[in-house]
Amino acid sequence: MLKRFKESKIKIISIFFSLLLALFILVQIICIVTHTTLPALIISICSKEMQFAIALSLITSVISTILCIIISIPTAYALARYDFFGKSLINTMLDVPLALPPLVAGVGLLILFGTTSFGKTLADAGLVFVFTPLGIIIAQFSVNVPFMFRILRGTFQGINPRYEHIAQTLGCTELQAFWHVTLPMAKNGLLAGSIITWSKGIGEFGAALMLAGATRMKTETLPISLYLNMSCGELNLAIAAATILIVISLGSLFIFEKYGGFAKVF
Amino acid sequence: MIRIKNISKNLGEFFLRDVTLDIEAGNYFMILGPTGAGKTILLEAMAGIYRPDRGEIWLDGRNITNIPPRDRNISMVYQDYMLYPHLSVEKNIAFGLKLKKIPKEKIKDKIEDITNMLGIHHLLHRFPGTLSGGEKQRVAIARAMVTEPKALLLDEPLSALDTQTREILREELHKIHINTKTTIVHVTHNFEEVFSLGDSMAVMNEGKIVQVGRPDEVFKRPNSEFVANFVGVENLFRGKSTINNGISTINVNGISIVSTTCKSGDSIISIRPEDILVSRKKIESSARNSFNGKIKSIVDKGPIIKIVTDLGIPFSAIITRQSFNNMELKRGTSAYFTFKASDVHFI
């Protein structure tokens, strides 16, 4: 036994580090969920404010995920299937939000919608994004769309265009071939992309804070609620928000691993 | 019939250059060529997947160059099947019929017919992922044929299959062609397929058609060095075979060749040049075929020498340099060419 230990020092050390890291993450989660008692947690979750935050988070994240899907399908298809001028530039631009801090993206959005004539035109038409729930949706969309896009691009790249060719010879238009063949074949990628985009949307904080602000009972999503309640010492409410976010994250991670193992996010 | 007039297409790595080809209606047409010759793009251009940069494609007197694939009524089968994994075998086969808005009852009948013909009726409720290669290719052929296309395009349909399955499916394709009389264009790099299936053939290289003709003509009289090197098959003869006492006698241009394989009627036979024994004098042996002729040409291939004689039909034999030197063979020398009946293969 001792001999084997000597033989694989690197193995022992590296496994030790991986255990340490896993433990570090586990401890954080345990600290949060054990910081309160179950009755207190239930009372907090049932409070009006938390109910509002849950509802707002669900609504905004579902809408922003649907937006991500609608925009990403054609974008990912174009970049997976066709060669065109400026393709690599577009690919790079679409990756930028992954590297950009969400706070910076939020500032960009705030300036775009708050100060430019484009933003003012939209506001005049009734689409006010600054300090409104609508802003939360746009913030979630712009930060998370690369996840959806990248997963879908990988999925479409993995589907041989000959499937569509055959469909066309059998009587499909190009659009029908996409609809009847490629889209159903991309089902797993779509599901995985939607899950990760949705769960990222629920947790979106930085960009939403900049554009939509942190107004209690108005733009108070779960992460905003966590932030507001932390800063004014309402620890039970803060922990309730954090616990809900943990459950959502772990649940989506599980589904993503199950259906999206093939798709690369980074 | 399919008329391809001077079409060119550049897809970067693969291209077509000024391809002109006429394929008679009801013909089983083979396209043979090395990898990257442009065979697949030619099929895809016929199917309408790529619009040619230049040139025209006509089908039965109609210019279909700018007609989308769905209105051409030309079906296609790829080497790697391309069955829809999310659909059952039945739904895969029904795919084209449903789009054509054919009533359900009629779809059922058609599927019944085609699947019985291809022996895949028992697979209807399975999904493609659970099928063997041969089964998948039968389903792909059924899906393509069930729409009763004017032409069926096959892109190396047998290449991904094991030898045994390949032979069975080759027979199957032959049967389909006889039964339906559909024009079939079949891309391959397998010579046996060319002979067993093809009425006519074209050889392609570097995006161009190099030679067109009946398979035995092309193999016997290659028009360029490329074709000669590429087809590279010698001692290939067409003749009428009759069976007598369990052995076949094939009459080739008045010469009778005996084979242990029993097959009658018009046939093509081949004898490998390595299987032919060359001698100065007639030798007594168990070999049933022995012919005398003058040596017409000698090709030095390093350690081996190819000897060609003309017996009314050209015969090639390959011998080692040592035997060649020992026998003191020269052009014009008379020699015997002997081979066993079991070395005469039907194609």
pLDDT in tens, B203-238: 999 999 999 999 888 877 778 878 877 776 678 888
Q: Which of A183, A181, A154, A179 is nearest to A166 (CA)?
A: A181
> What pTM does this model have?
0.79
Task: Determine whether the interchain pair B76/A172 forms a contact, defined as Cβ–Cβ distance below 8 Å.
Answer: no
The mean predicted confidence, pLDDT, of chain A is: 91
pLDDT of residue A6: 64
Complex prediction ipTM: 0.80
Say if CB B145 and CB B180 are below 8 A apart: yes
Task: Determine whether the interchain pair A170/B143 forms a contact, defined as Cβ–Cβ distance below 8 Å.
Answer: yes
Tell me which residue in B44, B76, B100 faces A171 most closely, judged by beta carbons: B100
pLDDT of residue A7: 67
**A262 Cβ under 8 Å from any chain B Cβ:** no
Alpha carbon distance B174, B167 (integer Å) = 11
**A169 Cβ under 8 Å from any chain B Cβ:** yes
Tell me which residue in B75, B82, B99 faces A172 most closely, judged by beta carbons: B99
**A175 Cβ under 8 Å from any chain B Cβ:** no
Burial level of A92, CB count in 10 A (0-12/13-18/19+)? exposed
Residue A252: pLDDT band by 50, 70, 90 thresholds? confident
Q: What is the pLDDT of residues A175-204, one digit of tens each?
A: 999 999 999 999 989 998 999 899 999 999
Q: What is the pLDDT of residues B98-112, one digit of tens each?
A: 988 889 999 999 999
pLDDT of residue A265: 45
Tell me which residue in A162, A171, A187 faces B82 most closely, judged by beta carbons: A162
Query: What is the average pLDDT across B12-28?
Result: 92
Nearest CA in chain A to B94: A170
Q: Which residues of A74-86 are buried (b: 16+ CB within 10 A; e: fewer)?
A: ebbbebbeeeeee
The torsion defined by the Cα of A11, A17, A23 and A27, in degrees rounded to 10, comes to: 180
Which of B74, B99, B102, B148 to mutate: most A Cβ within 10 Å? B99
Give the Cβ contact number of residue B280 at 10 Å: 13
Nearest CA in chain A to B151: A169
Alpha carbon distance B67, B57 (integer Å) = 10
Alpha carbon distance B284, B294 (integer Å) = 20
Q: Which residues of B242-276 are buried (b: 16+ CB within 10 A; e: fewer)?
A: eeeeebbbbebeeeebbbebeeeeebbbbbbbebb
Gap from B100 CA to chain A (nearest CA, Å): 7
Q: What is the pLDDT of residues A30-81, one digit of tens each?
A: 999 888 888 988 999 999 999 999 999 999 999 999 999 999 999 999 999 9
Residue A261: pLDDT band by 50, 70, 90 thresholds? low
Contacts of A155 in chain B (CB under 8 A): none
Instruction: Provide the 8-state DSSP code for B252.
Output: E
Percent helix / strand / coil, chain A, rounded to 5? 80, 0, 20
Q: What is the pLDDT of residues A116-169, one digit of tens each?
A: 999 999 999 999 999 999 999 999 999 999 999 999 999 999 999 999 999 999
